[in-house]
Amino acid sequence: MTASTLGVNPTRLLERIVSLGACGALPDGGVSRLALTDADAQGRAELLRQMRELDMEIRIDPIGNIFGIHAGVEDAVVMMGSHIDTVSTGGLYDGALGVIAGLEVVACLKDEGIRPRHPVVVAAFTNEEGARYAPDMLGSLVYSGAMDVDDAYRITGCDGSVLGEELRRIGHCGTQSGPRNIHAYVELHIEQGPVLEDQGLNIGIVTGVQGISWTEVTVEGRSAHAGTTPARLRHDAGLAAAYITMGLSDMVAAMGPAQLATVGALTLTPNLVNVVASRAVMTVDLRNPDNTALCAAEAMLAKLMGEAKARYGVNVSHRTLARFEPVPFTPALVDTIEATACQMGLSCMRLYSGAGHDAQMIAPVAPAAMIFVPSVAGISHNIREYTHPDDIMNGANLLLRVVTDQAGLA
Amino acid sequence: MTASTLGVNPTRLLERIVSLGACGALPDGGVSRLALTDADAQGRAELLRQMRELDMEIRIDPIGNIFGIHAGVEDAVVMMGSHIDTVSTGGLYDGALGVIAGLEVVACLKDEGIRPRHPVVVAAFTNEEGARYAPDMLGSLVYSGAMDVDDAYRITGCDGSVLGEELRRIGHCGTQSGPRNIHAYVELHIEQGPVLEDQGLNIGIVTGVQGISWTEVTVEGRSAHAGTTPARLRHDAGLAAAYITMGLSDMVAAMGPAQLATVGALTLTPNLVNVVASRAVMTVDLRNPDNTALCAAEAMLAKLMGEAKARYGVNVSHRTLARFEPVPFTPALVDTIEATACQMGLSCMRLYSGAGHDAQMIAPVAPAAMIFVPSVAGISHNIREYTHPDDIMNGANLLLRVVTDQAGLA
């Protein structure tokens, strides 16, 4: 048996996905496994169960990242990974696929008695989504050394919880270190966008991750009676928020499709039908694969905040929730993945990732790249998120081949 | 002692206001006495205590309206009134002043041993604000016969409570009828707007109430990943809501200052930084003293909903929460109040009410009018709502003179 004839076990791989998906399952399908909640703790327990079944050495680091290690003879490891936390109404595949497919790769190596030269590692990073704690990709950020773990512990979540306390509460504040010497990091993930399906392709060869800028904008106006306050005397925080929202939409139209802008969260105070809003708190998510363009979008947001202040007589303040520059993946590893996909007869294209991924935190410290498989209708962060089993197998088999080649034989 | 030399007791009147304001008092000032909550029940108990102290006959009707009756010899009554419920962060004066000043008028009549020909009644109507249950002015609407009480009982509040259940819970689902034969209804109220203060006047002679249209607009889009979904493939409910909000603002600019439009409440789902909103529920409050113009504003809202649907690929539905046509007050009674104010040396102007008031529900069934006193900075529906004691006394003394004249001597 050589790497070229190895293949994952479809039934077993899908069963692994379903078992993890049962943790935090929602009544109408999909899952809610916000980072460090009880549901996440259940998912972590299921992951550890599957790792133990594969006789993997388990390490949990101080930020709760889980590493399962399949022994090799060298220090440098070949790492697969992603995350198992989800948004509050997420699907079965975002994150989970990269971790679960990694376990299936290890299972195949064991089945075939392949002893890798480089240890093969499966990593599940904490709080990738950022839906409970900002910034997103927090676990891999700390793992890479770009954030201090004590700073991470102090982060307050959108529900008022404190990250360090929740990590300890669920018993995943580990004392071990993850592997430090990475020969190659390969992350399999669903595309979470519509491009591969539109193009009718099997695989996306991800060349990098676009830059992300998250800002929380707070507009302070003055509450007033909706029936007695003339428009010219209002300080309407909700109207100012709408102005900024529309301005960002106009900016996207002007900058072209590479620029994205989203106002996903907006809360008005006091939020009553007959009271002009005194306060609006909104989030702005800006993304662009080009950092210069992303900076221009941030400048436009600043301009819109200034215009809203002048136009509506409100105060506008802001704070950065997250800021990541575009990250290119390692060209040699990207080339290798592309060549392997072609050898396997898989149709593929190179593309940028629109979403943030743990791989972008690894890329500055080790060779890293990603493999995308199609998402039906491009839907993700949604209970209707779905990837066809054939696409899952294509992605997992490509991962298996790449990792086996990278790991070598003992 | 004649009506022209009567005067309210300033200390006693202010003490009455403070005693009621203690019910539902907020830590930083102001009150929260949403209709039929425990705080409202405390306010009602305080009101009944003050009525009993004045030996008034008390009646509570099936919708919880409270009537205190000071005996006369005729069937037809002279009624003063307003409401004691507030918005969630309200002030001490909106509504309360009209009720409390009514009690002080009765106290003056008793002090001076004046026996009125027409019974003098003080009414406190249920759920005027509409902040918990829509529509607003519900108690006076039912009292006037324009809404069936059983329909009112079934109304579900913004907090999921059911009006009839809450009314029974606080023990204010009465079995008596309020007085049916009204000789004159006079409501004293703070202006809740900036006009009288701007003009430096003591009194507003209210000629009518502008029309009010409340609509709840629900936008249904599709949640999507903020980083992977190109703008052209989005169905962004939040963006559609911002479009409607800005369109209404542009409409107000085009229609002139008589038209008001407010989006006071807006809730996005799932309300997360990196997820395009699948759903937005917003309220639209439109007001105009001219019904034809108000209809034109409603038509513009419908047009904007259609444009949002086409432009953003979303579904837009709506339901009417409340709709009141402009209500003119009784000209003879308005003239009388104005003449009395002039005799008393009070500076005054005629104006329309920008807010809805219980008087507009009484006007279709009996002679009705209102007296406004200035609001500092026009602030209302806010804990900083304030009216100077001198202005309160001017309004209460005018009310006393008008009511005494209308009631006549036994």
Pull the structure tokens for residue A275.
């009271």
Confidence (pLDDT) at A4? 56
pLDDT at A2 over 70: no
Radius of gyration of chain B (CA): 23
A263 touches chain B (CB under 8 A): yes
Tell me the nearest-neighbour CA distance from B328 into chain A, angstroms.
16
What letter would DSSP give residue B31? B
Domains, chain B, in order of start with CATH, read 3-210+326-407 (3.40.630.10), 211-324 (3.30.70.360)
Average pLDDT, chain A: 95
A214 touches chain B (CB under 8 A): yes
Tell me the nearest-neighbour CA distance from A162 into chain B, angstroms.
18
What average pLDDT does range A269-296 have in this prediction?
Answer: 95
A376 touches chain B (CB under 8 A): no
pLDDT at A402 over 70: yes
Are A265 and A280 in contact by the 8 Å Cβ rule? The answer is no
B271 touches chain A (CB under 8 A): yes
What average pLDDT does range A341-360 have in this prediction?
Answer: 94
Strand partners, B285: B214, B262
For residue A1, what pLDDT band results from cuts at 50, 70 and 90? very low
> Exposed/middle/buried for A272, CB within 10 Å: 0-12, 13-18, 19+?
buried
Helical axes A96-111 vs A10-21, angle rounded to 10°: 140
Contact B273 A214 (CB under 8 A): yes
Task: Name residues 117-156 of chain B within 8 A of A (Cβ).
Answer: 129-131, 134, 136
Portion of chain A with pLDDT greater than 70, in percent: 99
**Tens digits of per-residue pLDDT, A285-344?**
999 999 999 999 999 999 999 999 999 999 999 999 989 889 999 999 999 999 999 999
**Tens digits of per-residue pLDDT, A99-129?**
999 999 999 999 999 999 999 999 999 999 9
> By CA distance, what is A244's nearest residue in B?
B242
Are B32 and B86 in contact by the 8 Å Cβ rule? The answer is yes
Reduced to 3 states (helix: H, G, I; strand: E, B; else coil), residue B90 is strand
B354 touches chain A (CB under 8 A): yes
Reduced to 3 states (helix: H, G, I; strand: E, B; else coil), residue B218 is strand
The CA distance from A98 to A359, in Å, is: 11
Q: Tens-digit pLDDT profile for chain B (410 aa)?
A: 444 578 999 999 999 999 999 999 999 899 999 999 999 999 999 999 999 999 999 999 999 999 999 989 999 999 999 999 999 999 999 999 999 999 999 999 999 999 999 999 999 999 999 999 999 999 999 999 999 999 999 999 999 999 999 999 999 999 999 999 999 999 999 999 888 998 899 999 999 999 999 999 999 999 888 988 889 889 999 999 999 999 999 999 999 988 999 999 999 999 999 899 999 999 999 999 999 999 999 999 999 999 999 999 999 999 999 898 899 999 999 999 999 999 999 999 999 898 889 999 999 999 999 999 999 988 888 899 999 999 999 999 999 999 999 999 98
Count the alpha carbons within 13 Å of A56 in the hemisphere toward its beta carbon: 29
Contact A264 B249 (CB under 8 A): no
Concatenating the DSSP letter of every residue in A292-308 gives: HHHHHHHHHHHHHHHHH
For residue A379, what pLDDT band results from cuts at 50, 70 and 90? confident
Cis peptide before B328 (omega within 30 of 0): no
Confidence (pLDDT) at B233? 86
The CA distance from B201 to A156, in Å, is: 51
List CB contacts (< 8 A) between B243 and chain A.
246
B206 touches chain A (CB under 8 A): no
Contact A262 B287 (CB under 8 A): no
List CB contacts (< 8 A) between B273 and chain A.
130-131, 134, 214, 262, 264-265, 283, 285, 321
Give me the interface pTM, i.e. the ipTM: 0.72
**Tens digits of per-residue pLDDT, A245-264?**
999 999 999 999 889 999 99
Q: Cα separations (Å) of B49 from A126, A276, A317, B44, B290?
A: 60, 35, 48, 9, 41
Cis peptide before B135 (omega within 30 of 0): yes
A271 touches chain B (CB under 8 A): yes
Contact B224 A131 (CB under 8 A): no
Task: Name residues 306-325 of chain B within 8 A of A (Cβ).
Answer: 321
pLDDT at A230 over 90: no
Full 3-state SS string of A315-367: EEEEEEEEEECCEECCHHHHHHHHHHHHHCCCCEEEEEECCCCCHHHHCCCCC
Of the candidates B94, B7, B120, B106, the residue with the CA atom closest to the CA atom of residue B393: B7
> By CA distance, what is B128's nearest residue in A?
A274
List CB contacts (< 8 A) between A355 and chain B.
225, 227-228
